[in-house]
Homo-oligomer: A and B are copies of this chain.
Amino acid sequence: MEAALCVPRCMPDPWLNKLSALAPLTAEERHALAGAATRTVVVRAGQDIVAEGRPVDACHVLLDGFAVRYKLLPQGRRQIVHFGLPGDALDLDAMITGRLDHAVGAVRRCHVAVLPHGALHDLSGRHPGIARAFRCESVLDSAISREWVVNVGRRSSYQRIAHLLCETFTRLRATGHASDEGERAFDWPLSQSELGDATGLSTVHVNRMLQQLRAERLIGPRSDLITILDWPGLQRAGTFDPGYLIQDWRQARGSGAAESIVRAEAPDGSHTRRERPCPGRVG
């Protein structure tokens, strides 16, 4: 009762809103999920929210802040594999596995709701809507993960950074964490070194590509706030197609689909080898 003021929200409302957008939740289900949160913790910037490999017995939901899922490699190298944004469950998979194959770190001060697995399993068994919502969030994470493979695998450094900015802006906007009227902008707590860890690039090269994006007036000059000066231009620069982030599956399933933007590839349903020119990145 005395600690009710120390954090902006003690209920996992951002998460409930995200889940509701993915799958319909009844008022009862929302209330039950909110009641599963036993506590809220504040994690300092640079600290781990979940350590790699350690057993986990609760889900962590990001209420506020910026988190990354990352894996460490020999010789101190690191690859960030996912951005955790407000409203995201950071370790939903651990409900199944009981541990994570990667770590979750706080890029800046994070407010995290803790929801024990036991309670979530109970709810998931009793409420089909909740079980479905969990699977929806999992599916969305998978789609993002696949796109990250494409990003680091087949895009130039310039495209990679532009694409990641487009993706992050789109995700933040969906939950109301990016301003969208007039000037598009969002807080950016990542250092250039961390952005390199997310894109598979060196710090120096990240710096040069950011300068190029700024020189072309696609983004603003500040490093702690991404201002998108030319949204269509930035999407072009990153060859960004938000189709994989679309969450209106209920609508998309029934209708004939008009939600994707570019989607104009070979309509014949074949990928025989002789038709493709050659692999490799294009600068």
Contact = CB atoms under 8 A, between A and B. Distances in A.
A63 interface: no
A46 B81 contact: no
Interface in A131-180: 131-132, 134-136, 138-139, 141-143, 145-150, 152-155
B273 A46 contact: yes
A231 interface: no
A98 to B, nearest CB: 3
A121 to B, nearest CB: 10
Interface residues of A, number: 85
A246 B265 CA distance: 37
Given A96-B139, A249-B98, A154 B273 contact: no
A232 interface: no
A79 B151 CA distance: 9
Contact of A199 (B96, B146, B153, B282): B153
A8 interface: no
B135 A253 contact: no
B139 A97 contact: yes
A118 interface: no
Interface string A59-89: 0000000000111111111110110000000
Nearest to A253: B98
Interface stretch (A47-55, A207-215, A222-230): A47-55
A269 interface: yes
A1 interface: no
Contacts of A101: 143, 146-147, 243-244
Contact of A197 (B48, B265, B279): B279
Nearest to A71: B150
A252 to B, nearest CB: 6
Interface of A: 46-48, 51-53, 55, 69-79, 81-82, 93, 96-99, 101-103, 105, 125, 128, 131-132, 134-136, 138-139, 141-143, 145-150, 152-155, 191, 193-194, 196-197, 199-203, 239, 243-244, 249, 252-253, 257, 260, 263, 265-266, 269-273, 275-282
Q: Nearest 6 pairs between A and B by C-beta?
A: A153-B200, A98-B253, A101-B244, A152-B153, A145-B145, A76-B276
